[in-house]
Amino acid sequence: MNAALQHDVLTRSVEDYLKAIYRLSPHGRTASTSEIAQRLELSPASVSGMVKRLSEQGLLEHVPYKGVQLTADGRRAALRMLRRHRLIEAYLVAFLGYTWDTVHDEAERLEHAVSDTLVERMAAVLGNPTVDPHGDPIPTPDGDIDEPAGMPLSDVPAGSSAVIRQVEEGQPDRLRYIASLGLRPGVRVSVVDRQPFQGPVTIEVAGETHVIGNELGRVVRASIEDA
């Protein structure tokens, strides 16, 4: 294994960068300096310097005129951090009374401090879950990840029934509102109406009807049920 991947070598800052770039570059796409800066709330100049450093360490690869992608080593390190983060979230919700809107920031702090041994004991106590409280997939210890199929709820056709799979984390107020509508992973919904031109979507959840905007519908992912 590349020495850069040893836990005692990677700094918290490097781990945060790798995790952010992984999230910004699904399915082989690249992440731009501006996207990384916005996600980490840093200046583009700071990001450019770190990107150069990570490239020199073999954790990133520049794609000319497009941005950066994780190398195989960088991807393994990013998935290791995602496994830590998501297992910690699951543990805090299951055993310590945290709610899904309060757990993200706590997990962000703890993921850099806990040992691999503790993380794996958490996984065992939880029964080795495959998703976290927001429905995000938890990578395996070997670095495999099974991204669930699905589409934004705002794209589900009218007249369809769907199951909520994932809800984007990170904004507590938004998560509390989504929870108030009953939209959690595993919940079945019916799309009653969908207005054109990115208009609102009318859904039915547990016998109640709600109208949600396109922006909110895009952070909730669902899979259409078979007819």
pLDDT number for residue 4: 43
pLDDT number for residue 195: 94
CA-wise closest residue to 57 among 19, 92, 6, 127: 6
Mean pLDDT of 135-159: 92
Q: Are 69 and 61 in contact (CB under 8 A)?
A: yes
pLDDT at 112 over 70: yes
Mean pLDDT of 22-29: 88
pLDDT number for residue 26: 85
CA-wise closest residue to 186 among 170, 207, 163, 211: 163
Which of 62-66, 133-137, 179-183 shows the lowest mean pLDDT across its residues? 62-66
Residues 6+ apart with CB under 8 A from 138: 82, 83, 86, 87, 90, 129, 130, 131, 132, 145
pLDDT number for residue 9: 65
Residue in the structure block whose two tokens are 């009374």: 97
pLDDT at 41 over 50: yes
The residue ranking higher by pLDDT, 150 or 176, is: 176
Q: Are 4 and 72 in contact (CB under 8 A)?
A: no
pLDDT number for residue 7: 44
User: Reduced to 3 states, what is the DSSP secondary structure of residue 132?
Assistant: coil
Domain covering 3-74 in this structure, CATH number: 1.10.10.10
Please state the pTM of the whole predicted model. Answer: 0.88
The C-alpha R_g of the chain, in whole angstroms, comes to: 19
Q: What distance in Å separates the CA atoms of residue 49 and residue 36, rounded to the nearest whole number?
A: 12
pLDDT digits 0-9 by tens, 45-99? 999 999 999 999 999 998 888 899 999 999 999 999 999 999 999 999 999 999 9
Superfamily of segment(s) 151-224: Ferrous iron transport protein A (FeoA) (2.30.30.90)
pLDDT at 129 over 60: yes
Which of 94-98, 145-149, 152-156, 186-190 shows the lowest mean pLDDT across its residues? 145-149
pLDDT number for residue 150: 87
**Which structure tokens are listed for 148?**
């669930």
Residue in the structure block whose two tokens are 């016998």: 207
Residue 189 pairs with which residues in a beta bridge?
162, 205
Q: Where are the domains of the chain?
A: 3-74, 151-224
Q: What distance in Å separates the CA atoms of residue 131 and residue 83, rounded to the nearest whole number?
A: 10
**Which structure tokens are listed for 99?**
């709610």
